Amino acid sequence: MRNSWIVWLVIGMMAACRPQPSRLEQALEFAGGNKGELLKVLRHYEGDTLKLRAAQFLIENMPHRYFYRQGGEMDSVKRVRTYSNSFGQIAPERYRRWEGYTYQHLPKIYDAQVITADYLIRNIDHAFAMWRKRPWNRNLSFDDFCEYLLPYRIGDEPLEEWRELYEADFRHLLDSVYTGSDVVAATETISRYLLKPVFIYSNDFNPPLPHVGARYLFEHRFGTCRDAADIMVYAFRSIGIPCVEDMDIRGNHVWVAIRDTTGHDARIWYINGPTERGTLDTRGYKRGKVFRETCGFQRERIERFGRKELEHVPSLFYHPYLKDVSAEYYPDTLRMNVEAADGQLRYMAYFYDGRWWPCACSRISDGRMTVPNIESGMIYLPMTYEDGRYAPAGYPVWFAGQEVRPLLPDTLHREKVRLWRKYPYYPWIRNHVKRIAGSRFEGSLTRDFCQSELLYAVSDTPRIAYNRVDLSAPVRCRFVRLKAPVGRQAEVAEIAVYSGGRKIGPVALEGSEPERGNLIVSRENAADGNPLTYFISEVEGGELVLDLGAAVAVDRVDFMPRNDDNFIRPGDFYELLYHAGTKGWKSLGRTVADTTFIEADVPAGALLWLKDLTRGREEHVFFMENGKQKFPIF
């Protein structure tokens, strides 16, 4: 952002006393050879004051709007995405060529330099028609109309004709199916229709693609949560439902906010539940702060800083098209003492994916940093920003609304801890793990298991991923099977069989067919040594059979339920660190795990970070509470 036209515009606005050209004049100059098209729009609306204001609004905010050149490789990548199956998976042979693809080297094409007068006029006229048609828009202000209904684009998608396309498919729902005046009820009607066909979530491309565009999503309902939000915005705006997109600072989670007749926003997450009025819920994801990319210039984002400060403040905190809307989500204010002179700026950050993410900026007053409307249940770190780099400005804190607990490491007093994981134990991971409960491991000399012997019954949800079962007495068998209980599919990540301390590799894996259409659930996964691959049977009460090739005396069975491989893994090399305030992270040593947990002596009260140096990338910070690891959950 530091090299974008926005930065220079902002600094220019703050610069001097001499008269500056208006933003409309600047936009017209930026259009270059396309200036005539924009002037044509303004002349077209000379007799309609409100539409003229709308046209001026769009044009003066147009110079920062662009899309990436389409065709060629961009079309090829989009085409690959169309092969996603119902599980959101792309066959490896199709995906492999574009793995790690990035579009950011493609030329940017700026709207102001290519947009036509006819395109802009059609969009403005259509938006006004929908504003006036729907009863819930009677009290929608012009300013809200400009943000929630008028915009002709969402982000960096290609310029396309989309309003009439979506309106033709969705308008009957508000003309006949629902004819009331409650915008939330109208939204629900549209949302149910959008479920046919259901949107398929897929995150195969990393980094993700830019906004793929209205016409592509009309034909292909799959992609990331941002794509899901985009298709809702196109559908809603095309028939007069005012809406915007909100997101976390990382852009990882995007959802839609509907402008309600109450003057507040109602949230919707596509297939994840109904539109909710008056809720502060963000569907369990921790975000710290919530932001909204706006169509209109947010002058107040700039004016909170002095001219010289702008040259040293990260663009996130003054970008005039990115608005902090956290007040609509989080009622709590974080206040903490910081060693800094009054008037200085400090930043608040949270930890995610191996780094601190600054999400708020505060000016020090009376030695305190005050951040309003910040999410509770999070660990935050005050930071400085100098020469383009962030650095810790103090110790991290655990913020739980009314509780602000500094995580101060007491290096003179140590506590012995036992660590079981390096990442939060999310509910969906628990659900995967518990699906093996009720399953039975059986041994038999014959494939039909007419005469079998129980080796082990999984009576409850395992507490760990790697489970070793030493039999009380050896059982002679050639075949070992996992049998799921009635009403549940067989599901397992790894099975290993031992005899006399020697691992017996199966010569074949047989049993129930894998789940139909799922590309990643083969039988072979259960013996490939990779805990992130797994088998799921198509049928309930299914089975997986290991053929050992010959009868052996089985005295041990190891198994792993489907899991995220973030439990402690025997044989992996780990490093434990604690946070030492302005000194940053300090190592407490490295060790090879010899069992399913790690024991360590740590400074009391410290924020900790356990890193697996052997494999994986999912790690998160935590502190100890009542002898257990406490992770902030994202």
- The domain made up of 299-406 has a fold known as Immunoglobulin-like (2.60.40)
Cα distances (angstroms) measured from residue 472 to each of 444, 455, 557: 17, 9, 12
DSSP letters along 244-275, please?
Answer: EEEE-TTSS-EEEEEE-TTSSEEEE-GGGS--
Residue 400, strand partner residues: 403
Integer Cα distance of 602 and 579 in angstroms? 11
Say if residues 506 and 549 touch (Cβ distance below 8 Å): yes
- Neighbour order of strands in the sheet with 608-612: 585-592, 573-579, 608-612, 621-625, 628-630
Per-residue confidence (pLDDT) for residue 94, from 0 to 100? 64
Per-residue confidence (pLDDT) for residue 73, from 0 to 100? 75
Say if residues 183 and 136 touch (Cβ distance below 8 Å): yes
Axis crossing angle, helix 163-172 with helix 117-133, rounded to the nearest 10: 20
Per-residue confidence (pLDDT) for residue 14, from 0 to 100? 46
User: Could you tell me the residue ranges of all domains in the chain?
Assistant: 21-293, 299-406, 412-426+568-630, 431-560
Integer Cα distance of 538 and 512 in angstroms? 7
Axis crossing angle, helix 23-30 with helix 35-44, rounded to the nearest 10: 130
Per-residue confidence (pLDDT) for residue 117, from 0 to 100? 98
Per-residue confidence (pLDDT) for residue 209, from 0 to 100? 81
Residues of the chain with pLDDT under 70: 1-20, 83-101, 204-207, 271-273, 279-284, 634
Per-residue confidence (pLDDT) for residue 10, from 0 to 100? 54
Phi first, then psi, for residue 209 (nearest 5°) are -75, 165
Per-residue confidence (pLDDT) for residue 11, from 0 to 100? 47
- 3-class DSSP assignment, residue 75: helix
Per-residue confidence (pLDDT) for residue 2, from 0 to 100? 36
